[in-house]
Amino acid sequence: MTNPIRDLIEKVREINRKYAKPRIKMSRPVRIALLGLRFYLIFLLILLLYKFILAVR
């Protein structure tokens, strides 16, 4: 008898193994773009947290 949750976790692990190493060449522009994206997402997260705190108050 298969367990769907266990199967799903195993599948996710398999996907993580398959795509563990990024194939794209990590040149300077790529690194800058990905760093910029991270900062952008952190900025949005802080904005949402700020809004949440304001709403709770």
Partner 1 sequence: MTVRLGAITKRGHAEAIFDAFGSSWGWFSLLDLTLTDFLTIITEFIGMTAAMSIFGIPPIITVVVVIGLIMSMVISGRYWTWEKIVLAFCALNLIYVPAVFLINPPIHAIATGFIPSFPYGLTNNVFFFIMANIGTTIAPWMIFFQQSSVVDKGLQEKDIKFSRWDTALGAVFTVVCAVSCIIVFATLLPGANIGDAAAGILKILPINRYVGTAVAIGLFDAGLLGAVCISLASSWAWGEVFGWPHSLNHNFKAAPGFYLFRLAILAGAGIIVLIPGAPLVLITLFVQVIAVTLLPAALTFLLLLLNEKEVVGKYKINKLQNIIAVIIIGIIIVLSTLYAMSAIFPNLFA
Instruction: Choose which of 9, 15, 46, 49 interacts with partner 1 (CB under 8 A).
Output: 15
Q: SS3 for 20? A: coil
Q: What residues contact 30, with CB distance under 8 A and at least 6 apart?
A: 24
Is 33 near partner 1 (CB under 8 A)? Answer: yes
Closest approach of partner 1 to the CB of residue 57, in Å? 15
Is 25 near partner 1 (CB under 8 A)? Answer: yes
Q: SS3 for 26? A: coil
> How far apart are alpha carbons 50 and 24 in whole angstroms?
35
Chain residues that interact with partner 1, rule: CB under 8 A: 11, 15-16, 18-25, 29-30, 33-34, 36-37, 40-41, 44, 47-48, 51
